[in-house]
């Protein structure tokens, strides 16, 4: 049996539900990020620094170091204790592993690449020494209860490395958990990143990390969050995570840097964790190495944790070519040895003295050999090579036979001749 009135009753109830539901507000998940809050409002537009603030380029040394460190892909991991674990001790000891990040510290130029650890809103700890790729830090003055921590690989000037795996966050508890003292596991929370030294150097480094913040600006009007940055009263809004370098017209001195995390409509998000203030002290002492306009190759290597390049000694005066030096040595070798005056005279006497001549024919008597000249005192004093003496003259054989009489003939010459002058026959 059909009931015609039943359909009309269901139609009336459905219409009532639709009319009543149109007036109910629509809430985003956990109420952290609102698109329009049900009011049709557009996301709050971002803005650029204004007033006394001006965005400028980083110092020259920072640009050099960034380019030199771009080849590294740091990877940071928590080894012990585990995330969200309870530690039954008054002291907290954390162990990390860091890969592909050259930790260093130079006594003259300052910190090189390092790791920053921040617990709650305490002052950051900067770690530059490791055992292999292991890092260890002990904290003795942490109160009992729940704590949140963040750790990240940092450049020498303190900026966080914005790369996957270069930063981590988590929660730890001493003795027991305390509910309501920390952000929820999926709640966004803000971590301001302080410059190395925490001084108000010009230009100012402004950097931060936001955990559990959704991606935004994937399409037009898709703004989920905003970060309000205020420096000494001058404020502006940003909608991306990228470090800024700002110059203030007040010049060097102390500065108050405030950061507030807002939703797309400009409403605060859990301000107890996301409204942070950093006081930068007035600069004191020498400027760190990364503030210089330019670094030498050696300084760049030392400040970036790289091996120093080999530097060859450069001599200002250009040395003579080796060939010229060898020629000079050869010329010196070829020069004759200067002889003493006495030796020169001796040589002259030997060359210019009388040469031995053949003796004249005599009447059968042997010529007397010439008397040898006695050398002078100077000649006797000087040694001569191998005591060379002038050779005695040798007479030709024919001349000797004519001059020397034969010993086989006896008596006088007249007895050997005939009356006609011919030789007598035996």
- Residue-wise pLDDT tens for the chain (426 aa)? 445 554 555 555 555 544 443 333 322 334 555 544 445 567 778 888 888 889 999 999 999 999 999 999 999 999 999 999 999 998 999 999 999 999 999 999 999 999 999 999 999 999 999 999 999 999 999 999 999 999 999 999 999 999 999 999 999 999 999 998 999 888 999 999 999 887 888 899 999 999 988 776 656 666 788 999 999 889 999 988 899 999 987 766 888 999 999 998 889 999 999 999 999 888 888 888 999 999 999 999 999 988 776 655 554 555 555 555 455 445 444 455 554 444 444 444 444 444 444 444 444 444 455 544 454 444 444 444 444 445 555 554 444 444 454 444 445 555 666 666 666 665
- Tell me, what DSSP letter sits at residue 206? E
The answer to whether position 383 is within a domain reads no
The answer to whether position 184 is within a domain reads yes
Distance CA 189, CA 209 (A): 8
**Whether 109 contacts 288, CB under 8 Å:** yes
The answer to whether position 169 is within a domain reads yes
The answer to whether position 251 is within a domain reads yes
pLDDT of residue 25: 32
The number of domains in the chain is 1
**Whether 262 contacts 296, CB under 8 Å:** no
Dihedral sign for Cα 87, 93, 97, 101, please: positive
**Whether 78 contacts 170, CB under 8 Å:** yes
pLDDT of residue 248: 82
Which of 276, 188, 264 lies closest to 226, judged by CA?
A: 264
pLDDT of residue 306: 84
pLDDT of residue 236: 93
Alpha-carbon separation of residue 74 from 161, 194, 198 (angstroms): 8, 20, 23
> What range does the domain containing 255 cover?
29-303
pLDDT of residue 173: 95
Structure tokens at 12: 């009336």
The answer to whether position 339 is within a domain reads no
Structure tokens at 206: 């402004």
CATH, residue 70: 2.60.40.10
Its pTM stands at 0.65
Buried b (16+ CB within 10 A) or exposed e, 141-155: ebeeebbbbbbbbbb
Q: Residue with structure tokens 């050099």?
A: 64
The answer to whether position 129 is within a domain reads yes
**Whether 249 contacts 231, CB under 8 Å:** no
Which of 349, 393, 347 lies closest to 367, judged by CA?
A: 393
The answer to whether position 393 is within a domain reads no
Dihedral sign for Cα 184, 35, 266, 21, please: negative
- Tell me, what DSSP letter sits at residue 179? T
The answer to whether position 382 is within a domain reads no
CA 360 to chain centre: 99
pLDDT of residue 294: 95
Distance CA 34, CA 38 (A): 9
């Amino acid at each position: 049996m059909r009931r015609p009135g039943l359909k009309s009753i269901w139609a009336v109830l459905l219409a009532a539900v639709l009319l009543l539901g149109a007036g109910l507000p629509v809430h985003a998940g956990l109420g952290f990020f609102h698109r329009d809050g049900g009011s049709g409002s557009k996301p709050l537009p971002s803005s650029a620094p204004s007033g006394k603030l001006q965005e400028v380029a980083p110092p020259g040394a920072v640009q050099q170091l960034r380019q030199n460190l771009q080849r590294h892909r740091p990877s940071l991991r928590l080894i012990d204790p585990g995330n969200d674990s309870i530690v039954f001790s008054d002291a907290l000891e954390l162990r990390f592993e860091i890969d592909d990040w050259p930790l260093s510290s130079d006594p003259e130029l300052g910190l090189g690449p390092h790791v920053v650890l921040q617990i709650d809103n305490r002052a950051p700890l900067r770690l530059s020494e490791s055992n292999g790729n292991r890092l260890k830090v002990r904290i003795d003055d942490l109160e009992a209860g729940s704590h949140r921590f963040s750790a990240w690989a940092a450049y020498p000037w303190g900026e966080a490395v914005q790369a996957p795996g270069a930063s981590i966050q988590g929660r730890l508890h001493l003795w027991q958990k305390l509910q309501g003292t920390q952000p929820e596991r999926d709640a966004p929370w803000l971590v301001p990143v302080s410059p190395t030294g925490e001084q108000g150097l010009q230009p100012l480094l402004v950097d931060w990390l936001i955990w559990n913040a959704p991606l935004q600006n994937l399409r037009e009007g898709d703004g989920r969050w905003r970060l309000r940055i205020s420096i000494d009263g001058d404020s502006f809004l940003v909608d991306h995570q990228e470090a800024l370098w700002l110059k203030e017209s007040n010049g060097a001195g102390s500065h108050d840097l405030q950061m507030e995390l807002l939703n797309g409509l400009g409403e605060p998000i859990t301000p107890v964790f996301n409204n942070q203030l950093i006081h930068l002290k007035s600069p004191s002492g020498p400027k760190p190495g990364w503030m210089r306009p330019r670094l030498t190759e050696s300084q760049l290597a030392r400040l970036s944790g790289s091996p120093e390049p080999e530097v060859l000694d450069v001599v200002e005066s250009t040395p003579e070519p080796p060939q010229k030096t060898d020629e000079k040595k050869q010329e010196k070798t070829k020069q004759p040895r200067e002889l003493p005056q006495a030796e020169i005279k001796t040589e002259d006497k030997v060359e210019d003295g009388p040469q031995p001549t053949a003796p004249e024919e005599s009447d059968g008597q042997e010529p007397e050999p010439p008397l040898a000249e006695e050398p002078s005192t100077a000649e006797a004093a000087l040694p001569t090579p191998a005591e060379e003496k002038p050779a005695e003259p040798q007479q030709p054989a024919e001349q000797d036979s004519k001059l020397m009489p034969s010993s086989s003939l006896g008596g006088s010459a007249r007895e050997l001749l005939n009356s006609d002058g011919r030789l007598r026959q035996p």
